[in-house]
């Protein structure tokens, strides 16, 4: 929660198999005394081996029944932020998109979360990221809209200053942000400070640009990955973020 107010692009590879065949032209012997010859057709090449295509997983990997039950059935895009441990500030982020019969996974991106790790009951100032499943409806940043379909608030209010927990510069951390709908009013700028659960429950939880150190409660990834994520997310797919340490998400 560094609070004032990714195409990720999902990579899908298709394999195009092409075949090339060549034949030799038959040349007649011009000499009258030449005996007629017969040609034996060349054997047909063996059929190309079948290409094995791995099916998309039917369920989102790493999620237990309690977590899966929180993912809306109409959701077609899931940003999964998986922490290394309950008290770790290191995590990974993967964008999953629903396909026929399952989910397609994008690239795995390194990420940071809160300084003290994760919690199921986030409170203001606890320096832990909230575990849960939250809608992603609004975005913004200090830099101009990179081409997202989410509502995008561009302005100086996203200027980040100072240093982080490890002495790293915070400048640029809010170049791109996506508001996580934890204790906030959906449909507003990430800078909106309405707190439906009350101020004591914290807020201002974002996906934002990584500054090479732990956050106060947000999840951060590299600038280029934030840009890809913004370009990929589609409000029509009802995108959500599933976030938490691996053990909690497996429940």
- The average pLDDT across 82-104 equals 96
Instruction: State how far the alpha carbon of 240 is from the alpha carbons of 9, 73, 79, 146, 219, in Å.
Output: 16, 11, 6, 20, 14
pTM of the predicted structure, to 2 decimals: 0.78
Token pair listed for 65? 């029944």
- The average pLDDT across 113-125 equals 98
pLDDT (tens digit, 9 = 90+) per residue, 58-76?
A: 789 999 999 999 999 999 9
Cα distance between residue 222 and residue 231, in whole Å: 14
Cα distance between residue 246 and residue 227, in whole Å: 25
pLDDT of 179 > 50? The answer is yes
Cα distance between residue 179 and residue 204, in whole Å: 7
- Domain regions of the chain by residue span: 65-249
Which one, of 55, 59, 56, 82, lies nearest residue 69 by Cα?
59
- The average pLDDT across 104-108 equals 96
């Amino acid at each position: 929660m560094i609070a004032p107010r990714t195409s990720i692009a999902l990579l899908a590879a298709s394999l195009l198999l092409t075949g090339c065949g060549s034949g030799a032209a038959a040349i007649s012997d011009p000499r009258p005394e030449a005996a007629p010859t017969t040609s034996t057709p060349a054997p047909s090449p063996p059929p190309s081996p079948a290409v094995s295509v791995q099916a998309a997983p039917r369920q989102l990997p790493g999620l237990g029944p309690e977590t899966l039950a929180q993912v809306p059935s109409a959701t077609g895009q899931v940003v999964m932020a998986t922490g290394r441990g309950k008290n770790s500030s290191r995590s990974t982020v993967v964008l999953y998109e629903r396909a026929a019969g399952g989910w397609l996974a994008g690239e795995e991106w390194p990420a940071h979360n809160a300084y003290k790790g994760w919690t199921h009951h986030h409170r203001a100032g606890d320096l832990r990221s909230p575990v849960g499943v939250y809608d992603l409806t609004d975005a913004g940043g200090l830099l101009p809209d990179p081409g997202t379909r989410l509502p995008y608030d561009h302005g100086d209010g996203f200027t980040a200053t100072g240093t982080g927990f490890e002495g790293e510069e915070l400048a640029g951390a809010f170049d791109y942000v996506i508001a996580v709908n934890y204790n906030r009013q959906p449909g507003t700028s990430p800078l909106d400070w309405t707190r439906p659960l009350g101020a004591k429950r914290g807020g201002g939880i974002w996906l934002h640009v990584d500054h090479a150190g732990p956050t106060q409660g947000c999840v951060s990834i590299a600038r280029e990955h934030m840009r890809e994520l913004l370009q990929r997310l589609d409000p029509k797919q009802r995108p959500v973020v599933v976030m938490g340490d691996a053990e909690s998400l497996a429940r």
